[in-house]
A and B are shown apart, each in its own frame.
Chain A
Amino acid sequence: MDVTAVDRSAISGDTLLHRAAPASKLIATGLLLGAVVTVNDPLVAAGVALSLTGAGAAVRLPLRTMLPLALYPALFALIFAFAAAPGPVTGALVVLKAVTAALAVVTLMFSTPYPQVFAPLQRVTPQVVGDALLMTYRSLFILAEKFADLTRAVRLRAGLSARQPVRSAKATVRALGGLLLYSLDLSQREYDILYLRGYEGGLRVSGKRSTDRTADTAAMLYAALILAAVLTFRLAPGLRGYAWIVTVAGAVDLATGLLIGRRRS
């Protein structure tokens, strides 16, 4: 789980999705999650997942970094499906739901900086929660870098080795202990900074406006179309035999997206 790669893409990327307003992307993600919640056919779910991947390829999001992150939940969903699902079809649906939902949120996070995602949340959460969210975001990168340094130092001293698991575990625990103390010192420094700046609660993130209205419309229209397709198959059981059409359409979307993405590069 490389959080810095997500942040790098969100901040320095320049795709059609990056130009859309965060609010539009949040609405589009909400519609896609609605589709994931509603979908009840694995073929339809597979079609949505393929189409989402195609959309990501078309706008040239870094799929190589995105896909492992989006596929990671499939592992846990597979265990859950194995442990609890009543049959292979429901099992496949559970896994596909996990992957599709992850693709939707990962697409959002790869094209929108964290503070812009948190900004609307700040309006609905208590002040302490909203501020702590932003503070977590700040601390996360500092601690991730520090932990990478600590692990590298231990590795250089040959403390981490697959041949010596006990020694490796001890070294990792020591690194985590050091990181814990560092994180408390970091919180103390942050407290000092907040004190000096006269903070009394209420860290504000200014909302980012859209720089491309077409991107806003495209993102929301695409998500609405996906939700409409899923609802159609959900509400008309007679169409169940034709769910393969959605899978084929998704595959076509993916192929087209890959072609468009290649042409743009």
Chain B
Amino acid sequence: MSHIHIPDGVLPWWLWLAGWLVTAALLGLASRRATRAGTRRAVPIIGAVSALVLVSMSSEIVPIAYHVNLTVIAGVLLGPWLGMIAAFIVVLVLALLGHGGITVVGLNTLVIATEIALGWALVRGGTRLFGIAHVRPVAAVSTVLTLAITTTMLVGVVALAGTGAATRETGALDAETLEFRNPFSGGLFSIGLLGHGHEAEEEHEAEAGHDDEGGDAHADEDGHAHGAALSVSRFATVVYTLGPIGWLLEALVTAGVLGYVGRVRPSLLFAGAEGLGRTPRIGDEHGGH
């Protein structure tokens, strides 16, 4: 459940475009931070951890057909800024393999980057607070909390999209007016931020006398069609029912892997992969490489 498996052309254009714009701004900031820290050091680490996440996502845990994400682990290794770049790369490569839409890459990046940043903060903070001996429970609790928060973000995305406009306007262009409809034309109410979006949309449709796409609409007595909304409550019920199974599995895997890392290279839990250059590597004590 960690990333949005929503295809292209389902979310309204203003939502995925906003996702792209915020992602672009954050990527700019993250790149500046990475360049300041040293491009030569940042590029291989981001590449290796992104590849690790991609490999883990492409492999199933036998026999339950669940793939892990390792986003919390990526957070522990990379921190929030390099993690932002890794999130973008992972989502982009997945989208190029058909796993998630291209238009939702921005929103997906924000969800995964949040997981990475929260994972970094919670595990790093928890390990400092409770000590490295308790890294497994800290990692497990952090993972569950992180995934619960990002799943709520996912529900929030669907809720934002869940007005009549989003359902009728599954594409970018309004068929009747030949215009990109401005979601803010009726103020904040029209995008449902304050809970009146559907009413505003129905008013708009009543004025235009629109028909709904795909025939899922119902007509009122005047013959005006009303766009059916994405069912946010049903969606939330499904993700909050199935989600915890995934959270638990991810928590077990994250706890297991970080427990292993805590035994063999504890410095990684405190300094992350960025600290590799500053600490001697195991086996390198007696010479070069």
Give the contact stretch, choosing among B63-71, B111-119, B142-150, B183-191: B63-71
- Contact residues on B (Cβ < 8 Å of other chain), bracket: 35 or more
Q: How far is the CA of A65 from the CA of B11 in the complex (A)?
A: 29
Q: Is the CB of B216 within 8 A of A90?
A: yes
Cross-chain contact of A36 among B8, B56, B62, B158 (Cβ < 8 A): B8
Write out the residue numbers on chain A whose beta carbons fall within 8 Å of the beta carbon of B86: 132
Cross-chain contact of B97 among A105, A135, A143, A174 (Cβ < 8 A): A105
Write out the residue numbers on chain A whose beta carbons fall within 8 Å of the beta carbon of B253: 169, 172-173, 176
**Known contacts A128-B85, A237-B211; A184/B257 CB under 8 A:** no
User: Looking at chain A's contact residues, is the secondary structure mostly helix, strand, loop, or mixed?
Assistant: helix
Write out the residue numbers on chain A whose beta carbons fall within 8 Å of the beta carbon of B47: 132, 134-136, 138-139, 187, 190
Q: Is the CB of A187 within 8 A of B171?
A: no
Residue of B nearest to A177 (CB): B260
Write out the residue numbers on chain B whose beta carbons fall within 8 Å of the beta carbon of A92: 214
**Known contacts A87-B216, A101-B9, A143-B51; A129/B27 CB under 8 A:** yes
Write out the residue numbers on chain A whose beta carbons fall within 8 Å of the beta carbon of B200: none
Q: How far is the CA of A179 from the CA of B93 in the complex (A)?
A: 20
Write out the residue numbers on chain B whose beta carbons fall within 8 Å of the beta carbon of A76: 5
User: Looking at chain B's contact residues, is the secondary structure mostly helix, strand, loop, or mixed?
Assistant: helix
Question: Is A250's CB within 8 Å of the partner chain B?
Answer: no
Residue of A nearest to B103 (CB): A37
Contact with A along B5-38 (1 / 0, CB 8 A): 1111110010000000000000110011011000
Q: Is the CB of B214 within 8 A of A90?
A: yes
Write out the residue numbers on chain A whose beta carbons fall within 8 Å of the beta carbon of B46: 128, 132, 135-136
Q: How far is the CA of A46 from the CA of B90 in the complex (A)?
A: 29
Question: Is A63's CB within 8 Å of the partner chain B?
Answer: no
Cross-chain contact of A194 among B31, B35, B40 (Cβ < 8 A): B40
Write out the residue numbers on chain A whose beta carbons fall within 8 Å of the beta carbon of B100: 73
B258 to chain A, nearest CB (A): 9
- CB<8 Å pairs between A and B, sample of 21: A3-B58, A36-B8, A37-B103, A86-B228, A87-B228, A93-B214, A97-B7, A126-B27, A129-B31, A132-B43, A143-B55, A144-B58, A165-B64, A179-B56, A180-B52, A180-B261, A187-B44, A187-B47, A187-B273, A194-B43, A235-B175
User: What residues make up the interface of B, taking CB atoms closer than 8 Å to A?
Assistant: 5-10, 13, 27-28, 31-32, 34-35, 39-52, 54-59, 61-64, 68, 70, 73, 77, 85-86, 88-89, 92-93, 95-103, 158, 162, 167, 170-173, 175-176, 178, 211, 213-216, 228-232, 234-235, 237-239, 252-253, 256-257, 260-261, 264-265, 268, 273, 276-277, 281, 289
